[in-house]
Structures are given as C-alpha cells and as structure tokens.
C-alpha cells in the first residue's frame, strides 16, 4: 500500500475521532482500523524487501522485459514424440543457425533418421528442445537466395502441413560447411548445399527442398550489389509490410514477414491483376487454407502491391503457363490435391499413374483453348497504357474499309431488289 494512502487514512481517522470523541463505540472501531492498517503496512514492507533480496542484480531491468524473457516461446508445447525422440543421436548437427520465424535467435538444428525422424531445434545454451517437425508433418521445404544481401546466403522455409502452425524460416550463409557434424556432413560443400542434400537423404527424398528455376521465373531487374545475376524474386508489399514473391514450380511463396505465405497450386483459386499502371502493378492471389487461423474452405484474396512493371511479362507468363488466371480450373487443381477419383487408390501401379495424368492433360487442353480465346481478343499491354489513345480508331476504320465484306454485299442486293419492285409497279 502506498505511504500517502496510509497517511490519508490516519488523518481521516483522527478527524472522525474528534467529531465522535463522545461515542466510545466509534473510537473503538477506529482503533481497530488503525491497528489493521499499521500491520498491513509492515507486511508490505516485508514482502518488498524479500522480493528485492531474492532477485538481486536481475531486478535492475524493466519488469515488462523481465516477464517477457521468463515466458516460454510459443512453440514450447510440442506434440507427443516417441520416447527416444529427444535423446536420439542425430545424423547431422548444425551448431548455430539463425532463425527469423517463428523465433528470432540462433539455435542448433539436428536431423534425425528413421520413418519417425525429423528436424529438432535445440537451444544452444540450455540444450532444451525448443521446436520440432517430423518428416510427415512437413508439407514443403523451400530454399531461396536471401534477397538484397551483399554476402550470399540462403533462406530455408519449412512449411508445416498444419496451417495453424508457423512456417520455420532459417538462414545459412554460402560458406563452407566446416561446422557441420555427423555422417551427413560434407565440409567441401557450402552450407546451403550440404543442408539440402542432407535433408533429401535423411528423409528419403520426402522433404527434398524446392529451389527457384530460370524455367519458372527470373526478374527482369538487376540487383544493386550483383548486377550480373538476375534475382529469382519480385519485390512486393502486402499492406505496409515489404516482402518478396518467389514463383516456384509447385507454387508461390511470399516472405519473409510473419506470417510467411505459401500458395501451392492446389490451393490457388485464381490470380489476377489490379492497379496496372505505367511503372507498377498489383497482383491478387485468391486461395484457400494458406494462412493460420483461416478455415480450409474459406476463400481469401491476398493482394501484393507495387510490383515493378518490368516483371509483368515474366509473372504473367508464369501465371498462364500454370493456368492460374482461370478460376474455373481451381476445382481440378484441388481435386488433384485430395486425390479425388484417383485410380491408383483402386488399382495402384503403373496403369493407375498413367490414368492420373489424364486430368492434367485435360487441364492443359482447356488452358490452350483459353489462350486461343485470349489471342482473339484485344491484346493488353500494361506498359503502353499512356500511348493507347486512338488505338481503337484505326481498327474501326480498317473494318469499315473491309466492311464491304459480306454485310456490304447483302445490303447492295436488298437495294437492287427494292429498285426492281418499284420499276414493276410503274
């Protein structure tokens, strides 16, 4: 209790005593109150001294910061693992790995072999298990170059199947893997290459990392620190957060702000463009079940803004190549994800795999028809928006010049018949 409050109570008690001195019962009551307040004050002082002596030098920092450090991280509640999972000897150990999502600190990463193996994230100081994922819990591993960094490095994204969990984002520099320990260590390779090959080998190719490819997308822009290499990303904003879009063979990823978004093709409904200007444009990805806290069937539109117009052609080619601009193909992509009418479930073997390719062929055929219809329509060049004045008048004049065509012949025949009828009446 504050000293000022205590003094105020005493002064108020003294005033009331003066007013009611003749009343013995009131005097007795305030004597009891006075005794209680003094005892309470003594107890508060005792507790304050005890807290100071127990905390010692650690009590110098702000209380809010101290409480934050005492709270365990959000991933401390791990799923049930086999009895020896926490103590099993790892195949590969990487002693210091920088994590940016979901925690921002350096941790030790260990890879465990076996069908129930996976990846352990261990605190380097306490050696306690901070987070983990089994191979079956990982939907996709993605490795991409860290954008706009003078010192080359790669980010690894571990995307969980459970969208309620956060994607792990860790960074490895492009330096020799001399610190790697274990049977999977290869000191002659760079850290990203050694880590990628170890992931594929230990998981038996179930978690082979996916990397950007020139066949899918490369930016038309150059990087300020390395003009000879074209980046594999397109810079974009989601709201006020700046980030990067990577267009990969199995889907689109946006990072590296939390939450990191992974758009596999089977969850994409459609991709469209908005605010197409002379220098920038926006891209809108409609998808289901890609963000923590969202229902798996809830369709949400994610808009990424301020993309450079120089990347429009490359992005548009990627979107059309995978049929992402057509929302009518979303059900076909989704059916492929859930294995609807999958003949391999009934028969298995090579025959089933051959039949599984039929929906893909049908999807490509429908996409070709869509492209042909688009070619018949007026071509859209977002880079020449400012020079489009009058572009439609030339085509109209040409049609008028050709308009003699079929319609012109029919009109001339009708006029001739009308003249003949008039002549007959006369």
Q: What is the pLDDT of residue 413?
A: 47
pLDDT at 345 over 70: no
List pLDDT tens digits, range 268-290: 999 999 999 999 999 999 999 99
Average pLDDT score over residue span 12-23 = 60
| Residue 216 scores a pLDDT above 80 | yes
The confidence score (pLDDT) of residue 7 equals 65
pLDDT in tens, 329-340: 777 766 665 543
What average pLDDT score do residues 211-240 get? 92
Rounded to an integer, what distance in angstroms lies between the CA atom of residue 27 and that of residue 32? 9
pLDDT given for residue 200 in this prediction: 92
> For residue 229, what pLDDT band results from cuts at 50, 70 and 90?
confident
Confidence bin at 31 (pLDDT 50/70/90): confident
- Residue 253: closest CA among 360, 364, 155: 155
Residue 118 and residue 198: Cα distance in Å, rounded? Answer: 12
DSSP string, 308-329: EGGGHHHHHHHHHHTTTT-GGG
| Overall average pLDDT of the 231-254 stretch | 96
Is the confidence at residue 322, as pLDDT, over 80? yes
Residue 71, pLDDT score: 34
Instruction: Return the domain boundaries, the chain.
Output: 3-54, 92-202, 233-376
Residue 77, pLDDT above cutoff 90: no
The answer to whether residue 312 scores a pLDDT higher than 90 is yes
pLDDT of 350 higher than 60? no
Read off the DSSP letter of residue 227: T
Residue 22 is predicted with a pLDDT of 52
**For residue 190, which phi and psi values (nearest 5 degrees)?**
-75, 160
390 vs 5, more confident: 5
pLDDT confidence tier of residue 33, bands split at 50, 70 and 90: confident
Cβ proximity of 145 and 159 under 8 Å: no
CATH topology assigned to domain 233-376 = PH-domain like (2.30.29)
Q: Tell me which of 30-44, 114-128, 388-402 is least confident.
A: 388-402
| The pLDDT of residue 385 is above 80 | no
> Phi/psi at 385 (nearest 5 deg)?
-60, -35
> For 170-179, 220-229, 260-269, which range has the lowest pLDDT when averaged over its residues?
220-229
pLDDT value, residue 5: 63
Q: What is the pLDDT of residue 404?
A: 45
> Is residue 367 over pLDDT 70?
no
Which one of 84-93, 155-164, 385-394 scores highest in mean pLDDT?
155-164
For the chain, the average pLDDT equals 76
The reported pLDDT for the residue numbered 175 is 96
Regarding the domain delimited by 92-202, which CATH topology (the fold level of the hierarchy) does it fall under?
Answer: PH-domain like (2.30.29)
- pLDDT tens-digit profile of 86-123? 888 999 999 999 999 988 999 999 999 988 899 999 99
Give CA separation, 38 vs 6, 18, 21, 30, 158, in Å.
8, 20, 22, 12, 60
pLDDT-above-70 percentage for the chain: 61
Query: In this predicted model, which residue has the larger pLDDT, 222 or 344?
Result: 222
Identify the pLDDT of residue 380.
44
Handedness of CA 252, 167, 198, 243 (dihedral sign): positive
């Amino acid at each position: 209790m504050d000293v000022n409050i205590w003094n105020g109570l005493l002064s108020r008690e003294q005033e009331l005593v003066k007013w009611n001195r003749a009343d013995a019962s009131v005097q007795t009551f305030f004597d009891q109150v006075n005794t209680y307040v003094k005892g309470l004050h003594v107890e508060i002082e005792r507790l304050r001294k005890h807290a100071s002596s127990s905390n010692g030098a650690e009590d110098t920092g702000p209380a809010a910061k101290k409480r934050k450090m005492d709270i365990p991280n959000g991933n401390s509640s791990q799923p049930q693992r086999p009895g020896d999972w926490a103590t099993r000897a790892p195949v590969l150990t990487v002693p210091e790995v920088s994590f940016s999502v979901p925690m921002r600190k350096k941790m030790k990463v260990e890879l465990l072999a076996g069908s129930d193996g996976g990846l352990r994230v261990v605190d380097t100081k306490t050696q306690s298990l901070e987070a983990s994922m089994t191979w079956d819990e990982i939907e996709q591993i993605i490795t991409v170059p860290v954008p706009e960094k003078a010192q080359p490095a790669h980010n690894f994204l571990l995307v969980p199947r459970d969208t309620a969990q956060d994607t792990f984002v860790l960074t490895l520099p492009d330096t020799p893997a001399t610190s790697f320990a274990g049977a999977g260590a290869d000191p002659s390779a760079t850290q990203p290459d050694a880590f990628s090959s170890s992931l594929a080998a230990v998981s038996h190719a179930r978690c082979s990392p996916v990397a950007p490819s020139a066949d899918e997308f490369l930016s038309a822009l150059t990087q300020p620190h390395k003009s000879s290499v074209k980046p594999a990303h397109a810079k974009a904003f989601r709201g006020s957060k700046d980030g990067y879009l990577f267009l990969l063979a199995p889907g689109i990823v946006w990072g590296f702000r939390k939450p990191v978004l992974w758009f596999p093709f089977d969850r994409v409904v459609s991709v469209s463009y908005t605010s197409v200007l002379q220098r920038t444009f926006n891209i809108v990805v409609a998808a289901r079940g890609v963000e923590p806290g969202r229902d798996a069937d809830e369709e949400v539109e994610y808009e990424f803004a301020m993309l450079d117009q120089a990347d429009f052609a490359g992005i548009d080619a990627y979107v059309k190549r995978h049929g992402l601009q057509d929302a009518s193909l979303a059900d076909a992509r989704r059916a492929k994800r859930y294995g609807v009418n999958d003949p391999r479930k009934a028969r298995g073997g090579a025959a089933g795999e051959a039949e599984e390719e039929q929906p893909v062929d049908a999807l490509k055929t429908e996409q070709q028809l869509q492209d042909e219809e688009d070619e018949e329509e007026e071509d859209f060049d977002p880079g020449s928006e400012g020079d489009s004045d009058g572009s439609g008048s030339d085509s109209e004049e040409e049609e008028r010049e050709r308009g003699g065509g079929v319609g012109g012949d029919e009109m001339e025949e009708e006029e001739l018949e009308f003249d003949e009828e008039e002549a007959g009446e006369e």
